[in-house]
Amino acid sequence: MNGQFIALFCDFKYLTTKLLNKFNKDQLIIFGYSLNKDDFDYICSDYQLKIFKNQKYHFIDLNNQDINQLINKYQFTKVYITKSFKKISNIQNIFPNTYIEDDLTDINNAKQALVNADINSFYNIAGFNYTFSGIVTHCNHLGRTIGFPTANILTNDSLVIKNGVYLVKVIIGDKNIQFGMGDHWINRNNLKVFETYIFNFSNDIYNSKITFELLDYIRDNQKINSLDQLKTLLNNDKKECLKRMEKYNG
C-alpha cells in the first residue's frame, strides 16, 4: 500500500480526544481491541468510537488479525503504544523502536472523576462526556404509577459512576435524541439500575437499545419514606434539570 502511516496501538476503551489530537488524522491508523459486552470500565464507549469513525479516524480491530500481515500492508514511519495497552510487550517485540504514550494518569483521573460525579473534570480529560448503553428492561413500574414512567437498564459493578441523579442526554437506537433525568441506584430487587425519566416522551421502547450521556450531576440519592415524598423530590429534580438544560438548548 502506498503512503506513509503512523501506527497507534491502544485499547479503544481508553481513547481520548487529547491523545488523538497529537497525530495527523490522515496518516494515523489506530490498532486495538474493542470493548467487551456489559463492560462499563472505559473512558471511550462504543458510541463515542462511532463518533470518531464518523470523523474519519481509521481503526483496525486486532481481534482475529495477523500482526505480521498488517506490518507488510502498511509502511509505518513511527509506531506509538499507550502504556495502558494490554499487549504492549508483544508490540514492542515486533517494533523495538516505539514511542510510548503515557496515558495512565489521565485514565486514573477520568475514572476518579466518574466516582466523584465530576462531569466537568471527566470532559476536560477525555474531550467528551461519558456515555453508556443498555437494553431497556422491565423493572417495578413504580414511576408509571406516580406520573414518572422510566426507561431502565441493568448495570453492574464495572459502572463506577456515583450513585445519584443526573441530567442526561438520551439516544434511543442511533437517532432519536431526547433529554431526561436518570438515577443510578440499587432497586428493591437488589439490582443495580440506571432509571431514567425522559422528558416529553411516552413511546414504548422496551427491548430497545438506549444510550445515556452524562451532562450534569443533580443530587445524591435520598432515603424515601413515602410516595408523596418521592413525587415532590422528582418534581424538584425535573425543575432543576429543565433549568440546567437551557445551556444545551441555547
pLDDT in tens, 20-58: 999 999 999 999 988 888 899 999 999 999 999 999 999
Distinct helix (H) and strand (E) counts, the chain: 8, 11
Mean pLDDT (the chain) is 91
Express as a percent the part of the chain with pLDDT over 90.
70
pLDDT for the residue numbered 188? 85
Beta-sheet strands, E only, within the chain: 5-11, 28-33, 58-61, 76-82, 99-101, 131-135, 151-154, 164-172, 176-186, 192-198, 209-219
Q: What is the pTM of this model?
A: 0.92
8 Å CB contact between 141 and 157: no
List residues bridging with 11 in a β-sheet: 33
**Tens-place pLDDT, residues 217-248:** 999 999 989 989 999 999 999 999 999 998 87
Of 151, 113, 28, which is closest to residue 79 (Cα–Cα)? Answer: 28
pLDDT for the residue numbered 123? 98
Residue 97 has pLDDT above 90, yes or no: no
CA-to-CA distance for 139 and 118, rounded, in angstroms? 28
Mean pLDDT for the stretch of residues 64-86: 84
Q: Any idea which fold 129-249 has? A: Elongation Factor Tu (Ef-tu); domain 3 (2.40.30)
pLDDT for the residue numbered 250? 54
8 Å CB contact between 215 and 169: yes
Residue 1 has pLDDT above 50, yes or no: no
**Torsion sign, CA atoms 74, 79, 85, 89:** positive
